[in-house]
Amino acid sequence: MIESKIVKLHKMLEEKEISCKELTQRYIDALQKDNAQLNAYVTTTPEAALEAADKVDEKIAKGEKIDILEGIPMTLKDNISTDGIRTTCCSKILEDYVPIYDATVWKILKSQNAVLLGKTNMDEFAMGSSCENSYFGGAKNPHNIEHVAGGSSGGVASAVGGNIAVYGLGSDTGGSIRQPASFCGIVGMKPTYGAISRYGLIAYASSFDQIGPITTSVEDAAIVYDVISKYDKMDSTSQGRKGAPVCDTLKNDIKGMKIGLAREYLDGVRDDVRQSVEQAAEIYKSLGAEIVYFDLPALKYALPVYYILACAEASSNLGRYDGIRYGYKAESYRDVNDMIKKTRSTGFGDEVKKRILLGTYVLSSGYYDAYYKKAQNLRGTIVNSFKNAFKVCDVILAPTVPMTAFENGHAVSDPVETYLTDICTVPVNIAGLPGISVPCGYNANGMPIGMQLIGNTFEEAKILNAAWQYENAANIYKSSDFGVKL
Amino acid sequence: MKYELVAGFETHVELATNTKIFCSCTTQFGGEPNTHCCPVCIGLPGTLPKLNKKVVEYAIKAGLATNCEIAEISKMDRKNYCYPDLPKAYQISQFDMPLCNHGYIELSNGRKIRILRIHIEEDAGKLVHSHGSTMVDYNRGGVPLIEIVSEPDIRSIDEAREYVEKLQLIMRYIGVSDCKMQEGSMRCDVNISVRPEGSEKLGTRTEIKNMNSINFIAKAMEYEFNRQVDLIESGEKVVQETLRYDDVTNTTSSMRGKEDANDYRYFRDPDLVTINVPKSRVKEIATELPELPAQKLERYVNDLGLPEKDAQLLVKYRKVAEYFEKASDGTKNAKTAANFIIGQIFRTVENESEKEKFDVNVSAENLNELIKLIDGGKVRMNLAKSTLDKMLETGKKPSELISESDMAMLDESALTELCKQAVESNPNAVNDYKNGKEKAIKALVGFVMKNSRGKADAVAAESKIKSIIINN
């Protein structure tokens, strides 16, 4: 059984085996030592972390009860707005931007005295699959720093996988939580679109973006999800969790649960990854679940649909970075138009500019129907295909990524191949479904392999239940050598 | 050759909701720059819009009052363009599914100006130029607007004027906007073209942007009409372009060339959910609508018997109409109230904005009291008029200004006595009357009125005097 770090630490704090200050200090020390190699954090906030820890210790000293996430050292991806703490999206254009308000998720966690260790690395504006598009350089894989942590939430995955944060919140637009979790051998969940407030999450593609937890165990993901899945009046698309807390049903048995497998998800997947997923199916059978096979032909449209729609939204979302109100501004310019042009040309990295150009193009009059509109229609087709799939199964089992973590520099050298590696993760975002990546093996070089469980909308409880049962039965999680040993 | 003007309007009206369209900042006009702002309306990264329900309600009211169909399903779109006063680099507006469609406004000549659509959107901030630098004030950013788009149904400058006035009047009546053109809460873009009279084909149009006075609109249209006619007469072509009107030189000039034509890359705003307006909600809102000016006009003329000209003066301002209705409430003849308002009270109100407020020195209740005294035969018209003047001066009630003795009716014997005195003290007039000068009787009646200090009934006095003279 993979133990829940959060439960364990919560008990230690409650039973005064360790003070929150001590615990926080251990993480700060480990972070300061290991971050040089992992490059997981781009901003650290040790003073604020210790201040929060003091508050928790005071409560414990007074004999007050503490909430489950209270005093637990954690991190946020650097696109989640934090009042008074710079939030850069790992872009030059926001290098010195300090928000004046808190994202709703951080507001919730702050109210529970979560101990924020710092903000973590990511691909610039969450665009990328290796974290190497970060203005601050990429985060490294804690299982082998010659490899990337994945992206775009590479910093959170590197920090959690490297044990320099107990858990973290990332954002997932096309796989940005699940893919780095898979690369770093940990758990990452992208909840149903609307389950968690996006207020304060700096937008990449608004109809795809969703915040979610990155943890070392399924139980931790469930705990964090229960806390942050609240309806928020500041986000019109927010609905909150539907039904009971997912922790209530996490460990239920799964006899008779129908696990769906689609051939299309296994096409073009590397052998070691496919074998791991097939072995997982065997484990499910042994747990009393039923494996059902179905076709998902619409999957072939997923990548173009994703890149067209996400880039279209991004081209609009990123229009506001003009150097006028906040962030980087070009040093010399002739007039206001020149200022905006120069600010954007030098403030954004290449991948971001590429996606803005693509998005602008597909929305332009004369091309709108051929690209944007067609992609919207196909989005509907994909949504319906999944609806039909969930008539025959409860959850879908698939690889998270067709391969294991790239070596450093590979993604940059072959951008199109890198786009293609998003094939297994983007369908979930297109359809607004919940998906979770769980470690399911290691390749010959010891690099982690992840599998993905996909559920129908607002059925996080089902995928977490299936994930927990697998994790418990397979018991394959290996910690990296970095960070705090508990 | 004679030419016909063809014009259509795009009118922006700021809605008078207390808070902005996507956040809870105040919509108040003015204020220190950038003090009516929050992370949402200055578009800080990560913020999200939340549609103000009042805005939808107000826009529906505007739609119903202009005979539009209200869409059960509509949505918000992003209009992308880059300008420093637009902090998100897109304006949240409605593109292909506006809230209201296919309405009209009827002009006094019976022509209907069709309204193509009314949609909701957010206003932008304002650039402030000073000392060689430019600053941005985002106070106005996010203030709710409706854009009312008419078909090109307007055929003369008078019609244009009436259309804008009617829109203004309707929006003020239903309370969705103060439509103050000088403060920018109502702004018009005019599309204008000309064609030979009798032709069905539309000419090439130009668009004059952002005009904030009805007089400027009229002048600009006149200038533009003549300019286009001159071009055609001299064998040149009208170029489709956007124009700016300069009220100092009274000319129009081109704002941007065709090559800069904007591609707004409209697409649905993924941050906002579909707007669902059930038919039942539309019905509910319809019942909340006050009586509209056109309906009032009809009622005043048909039911209250007012001359149309008077009725028009009264319905032109909602406050005046309300005042009139209160003042005439329960009285025998609504015309009396109308005459007092138009004849006497209007003289104390100097300009448009005062008429708009109609905060006059005589309360409607006090005027109502005065009219009821007339109805009851306790006060004669002459006395009432002079009393009203005193009321306008002092703000006092009629009962405070008219004494008991003034109001005590002249009894029959006192009237007879006065009439006898009139005959006795004016032999010349009596003789004149006897000799067939009908008018001479007026002098005798005047004597009675004067000596009764206006309390006598002139008609009764006249017949009494006649009978005294005959019986003598």
Cβ atoms of A127 and A422 closer than 8 Å: no
Q: B141 at the A interface (CB within 8 A)? A: no
Minimal Cβ distance to B90: which of A319, A326, A364:
A319
A125: closest CA of chain B, how far (Å): 11
Residue-level pLDDT at B212? 87
What token pair was written down for B82?
A: 């880059």
Question: Which of the 8 DSSP states describes residue B81?
Answer: -
Please tell me the distance from the alpha carbon of residue A76 to that of residue A87, in angstroms, as a whole number: 10
What token pair was written down for A16?
A: 């005064």
- The string of pLDDT tens digits covering residues A326-365 is 999 999 999 999 999 999 999 999 999 999 999 999 999 9
Laid out side by side, the sheet with A187-190 consists of A41-44, A115-120, A73-77, A167-171, A211-215, A187-190, A435-442, A448-455, A395-399, A258-262, A290-294
- Looking at domain A5-296+382-474, its CATH architecture is Alpha-Beta Complex (3.90)
Candidates A199, A321, A344: best to mutate against B (most CBs of B within 10 A) is A199
Residue-level pLDDT at B261? 62
Domain ranges of chain A: 5-296+382-474
Per-residue pLDDT for B226 more than 90?
yes
Conformational region of residue B186, where left means phi above 0, alpha means psi within -120 to 50, and beta covers everything else = beta
What token pair was written down for B384?
A: 């009432």
Please tell me the distance from the alpha carbon of residue A225 to that of residue A459, in angstroms, as a whole number: 12
Residues from chain B contacting residue A201 (CB–CB below 8 Å): 46
Minimal Cβ distance to A236: which of B82, B88, B272:
B272
Pairing of strands A187-190, A435-442: antiparallel
Candidates B34, B40, B44, B50: best to mutate against A (most CBs of A within 10 A) is B44
Closest CA to B422 of B439, B447, B387, B401: B447
Residues from chain B contacting residue A371 (CB–CB below 8 Å): none
- Average pLDDT for B37-60: 98
Question: Which fold does the domain B412-471 belong to in CATH?
Answer: Arc Repressor Mutant, subunit A (1.10.10)
Candidates A101, A233, A430: best to mutate against B (most CBs of B within 10 A) is A101
- The string of pLDDT tens digits covering residues B151-169 is 999 999 999 999 999 999 9
Query: Would the CA dihedral through A129, A130, A136, A140 be positive or negative?
Result: positive
Minimal Cβ distance to B48: which of A199, A207, A372:
A199
pLDDT greater at residue B413 or residue B229:
B229
Per-residue pLDDT for B406 more than 70?
no
Please tell me the distance from the alpha carbon of residue A153 to that of residue A117, in angstroms, as a whole number: 16
- Asked if A326's CB is within 8 angstroms of B44's CB, the reply is yes
User: How many Cβ atoms sit within 10 Å of the Cβ of residue A256?
Assistant: 9
Q: What are the Cα distances from residue A183, in Å, to A245, A460, B338?
A: 28, 22, 84
Please tell me the distance from the alpha carbon of residue A90 to that of residue A347, in angstroms, as a whole number: 11
Residue-level pLDDT at B407? 63
Using CA coordinates, name the residue in chain B closest to A310.
Answer: B270
A129, A130, A152, A153: which one is catalytic?
A152
End-to-end CA distance of chain A: 16
Task: Tell me phi and psi for residue B455, to 5 degrees.
Answer: -80, -20
Average of per-residue pLDDT values in chain A: 97
- Asked if B136's CB is within 8 angstroms of A200's CB, the reply is no
The residues, any chain, with a CB within 8 Å of residue A398's CB and separated by 6 or more, are A261, A262, A265, A266, A277, A424, A451, A452, A454
Cβ atoms of B304 and B328 closer than 8 Å: yes
Domain ranges of chain B: 3-282, 291-407, 412-471
Pairing of strands B206-211, B186-196: antiparallel
B159: closest CA of chain A, how far (Å): 36
Q: B88 at the A interface (CB within 8 A)? A: yes
User: How many Cβ atoms sit within 10 Å of the Cβ of residue A145?
Assistant: 18
Q: B358 at the A interface (CB within 8 A)? A: no
Please tell me the distance from the alpha carbon of residue A383 to that of residue A401, in angstroms, as a whole number: 21
Cβ atoms of A203 and A49 closer than 8 Å: no
Please tell me the distance from the alpha carbon of residue B102 to that of residue A368, in angstroms, as a whole number: 27
DSSP lists the bridge partners of residue B70 as B100
Per-residue pLDDT for A314 more than 70?
yes
Please tell me the distance from the alpha carbon of residue B23 to that of residue B19, in angstroms, as a whole number: 7
Q: Is A462 a catalytic residue?
A: no
Q: What are the Cα distances from residue A258, in Å, to A105, A301, B70, B295?
A: 33, 26, 46, 66
Q: B87 at the A interface (CB within 8 A)? A: yes
- Asked if A235's CB is within 8 angstroms of B47's CB, the reply is no
Candidates B25, B48, B81: best to mutate against A (most CBs of A within 10 A) is B48
- Residue by residue, DSSP assigns B343-408 as IIIGGG--SHHHHHH---SS-HHHHHHHHHHHHTTSS-HHHHHHHHHHHHHH---HHHHS-HHHHS
**Residue B405 — pLDDT band, cuts 50, 70, 90?**
low
B30: closest CA of chain A, how far (Å): 21
A59, A77, A107, A462: which one is catalytic?
A77
For residue B237, which amino acid is it? K
Residues from chain B contacting residue A326 (CB–CB below 8 Å): 44
Please tell me the distance from the alpha carbon of residue B445 to that of residue B464, in angstroms, as a whole number: 10
- Asked if A316's CB is within 8 angstroms of B80's CB, the reply is yes
**Residue B1 — pLDDT band, cuts 50, 70, 90?**
confident
- Asked if A360's CB is within 8 angstroms of B265's CB, the reply is yes
User: How many Cβ atoms sit within 10 Å of the Cβ of residue A54?
Assistant: 15
Check: pTM over 0.80? Answer yes or no.
yes
Residue-level pLDDT at A40? 98
Residues from chain B contacting residue A206 (CB–CB below 8 Å): 270-271
Angle A72-A133-A427 (CA atoms, 0-180°, nearest 5)?
75
- Average pLDDT for B85-103: 97
- Sole residue written with tokens 């009291």: B369
Q: B229 at the A interface (CB within 8 A)? A: no
pLDDT greater at residue A469 or residue B395:
A469
Minimal Cβ distance to B271: which of A237, A360, A363:
A237
User: How many Cβ atoms sit within 10 Å of the Cβ of residue B326?
Assistant: 15
DSSP lists the bridge partners of residue B6 as B193
Residue-level pLDDT at B447? 87
Please tell me the distance from the alpha carbon of residue A20 to that of residue A13, in angstroms, as a whole number: 7
Residues from chain A contacting residue B43 (CB–CB below 8 Å): 320, 325
Task: Tell me phi and psi for residue A208, to 5 degrees.
Answer: -120, -30
| Cis preceding linkage at A315, omega within 30 | no
Q: B48 at the A interface (CB within 8 A)? A: yes
A335: closest CA of chain B, how far (Å): 11
Q: What are the Cα distances from residue B198, in Å, to A194, B201, B206, B222?
A: 58, 9, 21, 20
A201: closest CA of chain B, how far (Å): 5
Q: B45 at the A interface (CB within 8 A)? A: yes
Using CA coordinates, name the residue in chain A closest to B34.
Answer: A325
Q: B237 at the A interface (CB within 8 A)? A: no
Closest CA to A105 of A200, A195, A190, A174: A200
pLDDT greater at residue B29 or residue A394:
A394
Q: B363 at the A interface (CB within 8 A)? A: no
Please tell me the distance from the alpha carbon of residue B432 to that of residue B442, in angstroms, as a whole number: 11
Average of per-residue pLDDT values in chain B: 91
Minimal Cβ distance to A236: which of B45, B48, B136:
B48
- Asked if A322's CB is within 8 angstroms of B45's CB, the reply is no
B136: closest CA of chain A, how far (Å): 9
For residue A52, which amino acid is it? A
Per-residue pLDDT for B257 more than 60?
no
| ipTM for the whole complex | 0.96
B126: closest CA of chain A, how far (Å): 14
Q: Is A152 a catalytic residue?
A: yes
Residue-level pLDDT at B260? 54
Conformational region of residue B422, where left means phi above 0, alpha means psi within -120 to 50, and beta covers everything else = alpha
User: How many Cβ atoms sit within 10 Å of the Cβ of residue A67?
Assistant: 16
Using CA coordinates, name the residue in chain B closest to A312.
Answer: B267
A202: closest CA of chain B, how far (Å): 4
Please tell me the distance from the alpha carbon of residue B104 to that of residue A115, in angstroms, as a whole number: 61
Per-residue pLDDT for A176 more than 90?
yes
- Sole residue written with tokens 């520099």: A409
**Residue B259 — pLDDT band, cuts 50, 70, 90?**
very low
Please tell me the distance from the alpha carbon of residue B127 to that of residue B43, in angstroms, as a whole number: 17
Axis crossing angle, helix B157-173 with helix B293-302, rounded to the nearest 10: 90
Conformational region of residue A90, where left means phi above 0, alpha means psi within -120 to 50, and beta covers everything else = left
Q: Is A176 a catalytic residue?
A: yes
- Asked if B82's CB is within 8 angstroms of A372's CB, the reply is no
A153, A176, A276, A315: which one is catalytic?
A176
Pairing of strands B100-106, B144-150: unpaired
- Average pLDDT for B119-132: 93
